[in-house]
Structure 1
Amino acid sequence: MPSCPFCQIVRKESPAEVIYETDDTLAFFPTEPATRGHTMVIPKRHVRSFLEAEAADVQPLGLTVLKVSRALQRVLNPEGMNLITSAGEAASQSVDHLHVHLVPRWEGDAVGEIWPPKVPTSEAVLEEVADALREFCGAERLEDRNPE
């Protein structure tokens, strides 16, 4: 995608502090990190979000996420770490290219709590949604899925 900022980084048309690269993935620091060591991991192939990823995209991306997260843990020794990915504007996806945030965390950091207060859901609603999801997951194979 010519106008995608992450594709521009992959093509080396835009600068980035790259910390790890494979044939299929790239890990780099965002321009406005949430914490020290905050790292983005992307597939080099343009994929809009994890909802549109193919099975072949997931393994190399996952392996790079593991490698970089372990490096962050070893080098920075954070007290915790968030792994975040979003799909769609309602989920705060700001760049339409699949990306995983690795965010090292420390007590009292600027990120703060990421989950809203807990609100109970009725057992009937939980069961209805669970039944529909179990049926769908049992009937469809990821490899057969056509995202559009």
Structure 2
Amino acid sequence: MTADSACPFCNIVDGTATADVAYRDDNVIVFLPDEPATLGHVLVVPTEHVPDIWSLDARTAEAVSRITIRTARAAKAAFQLDGLNVIQSNGEAATQTVFHLHVHVVPRYSNDDIAPFWPIGSAVPDADRVRVAGRLAAHISAGLDDD
């Protein structure tokens, strides 16, 4: 995929917009978001315009994953964090606001202002768990050749 001139992350990649960059190579750029949620919060972004995980190829996924792990380790070394969230959202329902794939690496501190965001309880009744796993298994196996 090519760059999208309307995409704010593509503009950071091509230098027409500025950002506080922590790392860059040919495939990935790491920079602070406009409003970091915590000390050390950064975005890991492919340099190629990829709108979401469904558009991600294996080569780009590997590059993003490798740098996400390296960034998580760097955050642990650089800051006295108590935990870490790695967040990757796709689609408006999942709160994606910039439609260029990105991974939030968010250091967590016991006194930070991030509210718990995981629901209490299960959205899948116990009686449906085997059926749900089976539906996913069929589609995961069918898509193995897509990589």
Scaled by the length of structure 1, the TM-score of the pair is: 0.92
Determine which of 12, 15, 30 is the counterpart of 1:9: 12
Partner of 1:100: 103
Partner of 1:134: 137
Partner of 2:64: 61
Deviation at 1:69, TM superposition (A): 1.1
The answer as to 2:92 corresponding to 1:89 is yes
Q: Could you tell me how far apart the structure 2 residues matched to 1:132 and 1:106 are? A: 38
Is contact 1:55–1:142 with CA below 8 Å preserved after alignment?
A: no
Deviation at 1:142, TM superposition (A): 5.0
Deviation at 1:139, TM superposition (A): 2.3
Is contact 1:83–1:100 with CA below 8 Å preserved after alignment?
A: yes
Deviation at 1:11, TM superposition (A): 0.5
> Quick check: 56-65 or 94-103, which moved more?
56-65
Is contact 1:39–1:102 with CA below 8 Å preserved after alignment?
A: yes
Determine which of 45, 50, 57 is the counterpart of 2:48: 45
> Quick check: 127-136 or 71-80, which moved more?
127-136
Q: Could you tell me how far apart the structure 1 residues matched to 2:124 and 2:46 are? A: 36
Is contact 1:47–1:53 with CA below 8 Å preserved after alignment?
A: yes
Q: Could you tell me how far apart the structure 2 residues matched to 1:120 and 1:67 are? A: 33
Deviation at 1:120, TM superposition (A): 5.9
Partner of 2:80: 77
SS at match of 2:98: coil
Determine which of 113, 123, 141 is the counterpart of 2:126: 123
Provide the identity percentage: 36
* Counterpart AA for 2:70: K
* Counterpart AA for 2:18: P
SS at match of 2:76: helix
Q: Could you tell me how far apart the structure 2 residues matched to 1:39 and 1:94 are? A: 16
Contiguous gaps of at least 5 residues in structure 1 = none
Deviation at 1:92, TM superposition (A): 0.1
Deviation at 1:67, TM superposition (A): 1.1
SS at match of 1:115: coil
Q: Could you tell me how far apart the structure 1 residues matched to 2:89 and 2:19 are? A: 21
SS at match of 1:104: strand
